[in-house]
Structure 1
Amino acid sequence: MTAAAATTLADRIDAALPQTQCTRCGYPDCRAYADAIAAGVPHNRCPPGGAEGIVRLSALTGRPVLPLDPAHGTEGPRALAVIDEAWCIGCTLCIKACPVDCIVGASKLMHTVIGAECTGCELCVPACPVDCIAMVPVTGDRTGWDAWSAADADLARARYGFRQMRVARDKRENDERLAAKAQAKLADLASHTLHTDPTVIEKKRAVIEAALARARARQGAG
């Protein structure tokens, strides 16, 4: 398979995944799993897509329909995260864990979940240090794609993409702030060179320049 064909197949596979970004497949997000399937990884590791999802992926890849791999979970009704606000301590760890930014709140303030935007990924549950988050089934007997829709997947993909951009932007801005502080510190060291032990000055300068180099490297990698 050519590189172009593999990319096209990965795009089609990604479009057929539910975009819950739950990582149960063993990959960091749905796109990474789509790339892996296109490269030959089994296509039966997505519990949110369920049996219907496997049928769709089989049609795209030309591979046989397989049962869902139990090592990656079981198919079930769609569930929403619900926070017991009486127990919430406002630690923000669930906010950091949510792949689609559907938890709102602030440090030391109680959090709440925007139900219409929750993908049921469950990633917030282990992140909570006081076990105040429960996954509540909301689709009755409907499971897999019967409990999800293309519109839900599109919204989840868009929110996940926005979160990725926001996290990258916040990291870049933080690196820029740190770099500016380091530059100011270097200038301050230079102004005190005549009044301080040169050995101490050089050690401090080396530490600051190393920090600047790391920040530039991170910015280049981003």
Structure 2
Amino acid sequence: MTRRWTSAARHLRSPRRPPRARLRPARPLPARPSSLDGLARRPLCRRDNQGVTVSAPFPLPPEAPLPELTLTPETAALAARLDAALPQTQCTRCGYPDCQGYARAMAAGAAPINQCPPGGAEGIRRLSALTGRPVIPLNPVNGREAPRAVAVIDESWCIGCTLCIKACPVDTIVGASKLMHTVIEADCTGCELCVPACPVDCISMVSVTGEATGWNAWSPLRADAARERYAFHRMRIDRDKRDNDQRLAEKAAHKLADLENQTLHTDPAIIERKRAVIEAALQRARAQRSGAEPDDEVGQ
């Protein structure tokens, strides 16, 4: 018996249903050669310039100190020479936020000269010549000397989350939110900080120097360019933070000036409580910009 459908029933229940959407099969994770291979995996953290422990997607020697350093003019000059001798990859494998921080620690005698895997054995010899310390092998806790690699994004899997852009210390990844990202290969330092930041595992490190490692795979010209890009990166981050803080402060001040018309509440007590909260937030923002300690927060 052939089933017949009325027009109304056909609209509600069609015998020709569209095929179900098929889930995309999970892609097997590729094996990536990395200069971080062989390191013991542990809860990852580092210390920032103020000594505050923050989470970070890279291994760090647990004994790596980051004391408050006070340099004399002589040690400051030595720190500048040591910084110029580093490859400027800004990979943080030395246990410090950047190459300059590691150079300052070496100049102050707070760090050994064998904590820079990108520089390799040649880098240790250069640092030894500047500091007068004996040449020692590279500390395996910080990583191993390996051929230089650059980051490559699988654009078909990129979701445009911008996390790799934020992780790159030299601004060599370009893209926008929810749009495809790509790496400027000529400017990539191979720091690998973007790899663990990617939530969909679409970034691979591809060797571009064959068997050459350390300074044989790098050059002073590239190091100088990376230093300049990192300096611009830090300037941009500070500028964006200042602009955002100023925008939020102006928005709060505008709301405070016309609070009665900016809220739906008519109870004077609620309005005054909101006013106190906004004033306290503005006071904390001003204190942070000036470096002073803010007063106690006003309870909401």
1:8 to 74, 77, 102: 77
Correspondence for 1:35: 104
**Following the alignment from structure 2 to structure 1, what is the Cα–Cα distance between the partners of residues 166 and 116?**
23
- Partners of 2:159 and 2:178 within 8 A in 1: yes
RMSD of Structure 2 on Structure 1 (CA): 1.7
Question: Aligned-pair distance for 1:191?
Answer: 6.3
Taking only the aligned residue pairs, the percentage that are identical comes to 73
- CA distance 1:73–1:166, shift in 2 (3 Å): same
Q: For residues 133 and 2 of structure 1, what CA distance do their matches in structure 2 show?
A: 40
> Which residue does 2:276 correspond to in 1?
206
Q: Secondary structure of the equivalent of 1:134?
A: strand
Alignment-derived partner of residue 92 in structure 2 = 23
Gaps of 5+ in 1: none
Ranges in structure 2 where 5+ consecutive residues have no aligned partner: 1-69, 292-300
Q: Is the 8 A contact 2:89 2:118 kept in 1?
A: yes
Structure 1 ranges of 4+ moved more than 4 A: 190-193
Give 1:192 shift: 7.9
Aligned counterpart, 2:290: 220
Q: Please name the residue that 1:89 is paired with.
A: 159
- Determine which structure has greater relative contact order: mean sequence separation of CA pairs < 8 Å that are 6+ residues apart, divided by chain length: 1
Partner residue, 2:243: 173
Bigger Cα Rg: 2
Looking at structure 2, the residues matched to 191 and 115 of structure 1 have their Cα atoms a distance apart, in angstroms, of 53
State yes or no: 1:60 paired with 2:133: no
- Which structure carries more helix by proportion? 1
Which TM-score applies when normalising by structure 2?
A: 0.71
CA deviations over 1:80-133 (Å, ceiling 9, x no partner): 000000000000000000000000000000100000000000000000000000
Q: CA deviation at 1:56?
A: 0.4
Give 2:266's aligned amino acid: T
Question: Structure 1 residues 113, 196: closer, same or farther in 2, change over 3 A?
Answer: same
User: Number of matched residues?
Assistant: 220
1: CA distance between counterparts of 2:80 and 2:214? 21
Cα deviation, residue 202, structure 1: 2.1
The one of 115, 130, 139 equivalent to 1:45 is: 115
Q: TM-score, normalised by structure 1?
A: 0.95
Q: Is 1:182 equivalent to 2:255 in the alignment?
A: no
Classify 1:220/1:2 alpha carbon distance in 2 versus 1 (closer, same or farther; 3 Å). Answer: closer
